[in-house]
Amino acid sequence: MSFPRRHFLRFAGAAAGLAAAPAVSRLARADAYPSRAVRVVVGFPPGAATDIVGRLVAQALAQKFGQQFFVENKPGAGSNLAADIVAKAPPDGYNLLAMTVTNAVNETLYRNLSFDFVRDLVPIARTIRSANVLVVNLAVPANNVAEFIAYAKANPGKLNYASYGFGTAPNMAGELFNMLAGTRLVHVPYHSNFMPDLLSGQVQLSFLPVPLIIGFIRSGKVRALGVSGTSRSDALPGVAPIAQTVPGYAADIWHGIAAPKATPPAIVDKLHDSIDGILTDPAMKAKFANLGAEPAPLSTADLRTFIAAEVGKWAKVIKFANIKAG
């Protein structure tokens, strides 16, 4: 059986059009995005750092696109509830996760998660990072990290560091320090405010986000020995990075935005570029500075690599310290 040439050409053209239609449709959806309200799910209560950062970014995106970006707080299981909701949501760009370093820690800390943070979510943008700072009670005879390590090694198991519980940022920062510095600091988990015990010397030290502790540092009630980033914090320019004494030490808190894994790449790119643009705005930089944070944009490819490295790093710390979810 044979086809006249004109019929063949008509058939071939139609087939090519059908093949191209899905791609055109995807691009059209990306061009029209967002055409309705977008939900940003936060895994912590209102007022928490992830909530504050998520709301600032959501407000800026709403102004840029002329559509509502609303925050929905879904606290529970250290942000696992929120991550699970977004991982299983329709991958259409209308369900986003306000992610943080906690999500990278949880990938190993919780053994029976119903989702995989790396596999089931696509990172869109990293927004900010803020340093933790190693602070000690004034009775601790150390003025820098080197002196502190020497004192800690001379008194193994006698220095206690406070945290908000197993797997929290201070706990992870403390155990990373133990692992890399060879110290034996003892973890004391609290479920309430431990500042009175730190100030009185009941516990000797902690690793805390700069915004939470900077007032006590400035008032001279605690002594700051080192910051957790690889560079100095703008909020504490006189405090050297711990990494200068402990090579490889990095325990910054970071935040970002993620979406379900099958979200169209064109929408991911559109959101990424928009968020990166927001991070360059001087007014937004000032708002972040008030939180003791700074913009920390990465390309989507670099962000995927960064998150995979974070998951791997904290997995080693969890194994080293035998940390169990509290």
What's the CATH code of the domain at 223?
3.40.190.10
pLDDT at position 39 is: 98
pLDDT at position 22 is: 56
Residue 19 lies in a domain: no
Domain match, 114 and 156 both? no
Residue 263 lies in a domain: yes
**One-letter-per-residue 3-state SS of 77-88:** HHHHHHHHHHHC
Residue 2 lies in a domain: no
Domain match, 208 and 234 both? yes
Residue 212 lies in a domain: yes
User: For residue range 31-57, what is the model confidence (pLDDT) as tens digits?
Assistant: 899 999 999 999 999 998 999 999 999
Could you identify the residue written with the tokens 């087939």? 15
- What is the number of structural domains in the chain? 2
Domain match, 150 and 230 both? yes
pLDDT at position 23 is: 47
Domain boundary among 244, 261, 279: 244
pLDDT at position 133 is: 96
- At 228, give phi and psi (nearest 5°): -85, -10
Domain match, 156 and 172 both? yes
Residue 9 lies in a domain: no
Domain match, 315 and 215 both? no
Q: Categorise residue 19: left if φ over 0, alpha if ψ from -120 to 50, beta otherwise.
A: alpha
| CA nearest neighbour of 249 among 183, 293, 326, 324 | 183
| CA nearest neighbour of 58 among 44, 41, 79, 40 | 40
Residue 32 half-sphere exposure toward CB, CA atoms < 13 A:
9
| Structure tokens that stand for 262 in this block | 């099958």
Domain match, 152 and 298 both? no
pLDDT at position 10 is: 53
Domain match, 158 and 230 both? yes
Domain match, 146 and 227 both? yes
Domain match, 39 and 117 both? yes
Low-confidence ranges of the chain (pLDDT < 50): 1-3, 8-9, 11, 21, 23-24
Q: Which domain holds residue 213?
A: 132-244
User: For residue range 261-291, what is the model confidence (pLDDT) as tens digits?
Assistant: 999 999 999 999 999 999 999 999 999 988 8
pLDDT at position 62 is: 98
pLDDT at position 234 is: 82
List for the chain the helix, strand, coil content (%; round to 5).
50, 20, 35
Biggest CA–CA distance in the chain, Å, is: 96
pTM: 0.87
Domain match, 200 and 154 both? yes
Domain match, 222 and 257 both? no
pLDDT at position 212 is: 85
Domain boundary among 244, 271, 294: 244
Residue 11 lies in a domain: no
CATH number of the CATH domain containing 49: 3.40.190.150
Residue 30 lies in a domain: no
Domain match, 107 and 136 both? no
Domain boundary among 244, 275, 303: 244
Residue 15 lies in a domain: no
